[in-house]
Amino acid sequence: MEPELEKKPVIRSRKASLYFTLPIISWALYDFANTIFSSNINTIFFPFYIQEAIGNNEVLDQIASTFISYANAAASLFLVLFSPLYGVMIDRSGKKKKYMIPFTLIAVVSTFLMGVFGNWNSGSTWGGLPVSLGLVIIFFIIAKFFYHSSLVFYDAMIGDIGKKEDLPLISGFGVAVGYIGTLLGLAVYPLVGKSGNEDAFIPTAILFLLFSLPLFFLYKDPETSRPAQKQSFFSGYKEIFHTFKEMKSYKNIFTFMIAYFFLNDAISTTIAMMAVYAGTVVGFSSGAFILLYLVSTISSIIGSFIFGYITRAKGARKSIIYVAVLLLVALAAAVLAQDPLWFWAAGSMFGVALGSMWVTSRTFIVQLTPEEKRGQFFGLFAFSGKVSSIIGPLIYGSITLIFADLGTIASRMALGSLMILTLIGLIIVVRMKEETS
């Protein structure tokens, strides 16, 4: 018993120090940085800006929802075309940071330009809409495209910074730190003055850049013995096609990719539409929604840490099942919400599900994929996620457009469609063999 007792403090010390190495801290801070962008631009201030610019009654509120949905779908369309190739680039070169930095910088500059044109009152119109509004939407699409492009390389870095058995904890730590970034990002809210929500865009760009810098300078790509392959960017489609031909050898990975398609569809669409839904359906003011989002973010932080340990104890597949069930309940509560209290409960549950889905799915991908093809599969999972990010917003936006005359019922129907997608994803994961976890 004596030797065993002596070992325990060492184990605890190693676990505690796991999070405090420069590679892991810098990696987690990038999650901190990009979550500021995701929450401020994708979830809060861009939807509020569009709603402010277009919607001033129940019907126009639904049209504003359509604009937001279609802008998100457009960004995802470009990601569908290119994200699989990013994974091939990783496997060919072993380089991640080399590509992530310029993609991040383009996203930062585009976000900055959203602020510039959001505050530009030219008086010119195109198609009945202000030219400045059109330019903000265009730069939103560019910013979102390059933001998500950078994440393919960022997510693949996790296999370089820790041991396989520690990856659930590292992943949970990164997601939790990321959602702490949401809290800092919301500090720009007091800057949103009478001129509108566009005042949040430039400060968000600055914060995104500032907290990306540690990873730019402190992370180093691991040494690789892979020979340099001078091939064209688009030749990567041949390798992807070859991988699909070997689908039987990677059955579990492709099965989860299908499940992830449906689960991510529900999550990404909810993220994009929750601000407008809370305002137009439940009656939240922008200030009340910010408070709700804070509570949801705290739930995400707690859920991310907890599910890091659940994933290590129960396995990634079972943990994904738990998260999908929670997501289904959260969506049901939001669809049926008759007063703000229901939506507070839904937002808290969705916060836990959102943070935990990134923790569990990222770990599951590493567990399922062979190291020599890991970059390619991260690219394919990004591809799966972005195809779903087209389908979900298109479904949501089309429902709100077709049934706009029904007012808020249209939005409830649109959100209800996401429950069906979640249920399909859940069934697929449940039917996966236990040996995959």
Alpha-carbon radius of gyration of the chain: 21
| 152, 83 Cβ separation under 8 angstroms | yes
| Residue listed under structure tokens 């659940």 | 310
381: nearest Cα among 390, 369, 396, 391: 369
Domain 22-220+237-436: what homologous superfamily? MFS general substrate transporter like domains (1.20.1250.20)
Distance in angstroms (rounded) separating the CA atoms of residues 365 and 414: 30
Contact 162, 13 (CB under 8 A): no
**pLDDT in the model for residue 10:** 38
Write out pLDDT tens, residues 89-144. Answer: 777 777 888 889 999 999 999 999 999 988 887 666 665 667 888 888 899 999 99
Place of tokens 């990856």: 167
**Encoded tokens for 345:** 């409960």
Q: What is the mean pLDDT of the chain?
A: 80
What are the DSSP calls for 1-60, one per residue? -HHHHHHHHHHHHHHHHTT-SHHHHHHHHHHHHHHHHIIIIIIIIHHHHHHHHH-SSHHH
- What does the DSSP assignment read for 128-179? TEEHHHHHHHHHHHHHHHHHHHHHHHHHHGGGGSS-GGGHHHHHHHHHHHHH
pLDDT confidence tier of residue 330, bands split at 50, 70 and 90: very high
pTM across the whole model: 0.70
Domain-wise residue ranges, the chain = 22-220+237-436
Q: Would you state the structure tokens that stand for residue 164, as one six-digit string?
A: 């396989």
Asked if 192 and 200 count as a contact pair (C-beta separation under 8 A), the reply is yes
Measured distance CA(397)–CA(79) in Å, rounded: 19
The pLDDT > 70 percentage for the chain reads: 81
Residue 29: band (very low, low, confident or very high) from pLDDT cuts 50, 70, 90: very high
Task: Give the bridge partners for 129, in sequence order.
Answer: 126
Cα–Cα distance, 159 to 226 (Å, whole number)? 17
DSSP for residue 226: P
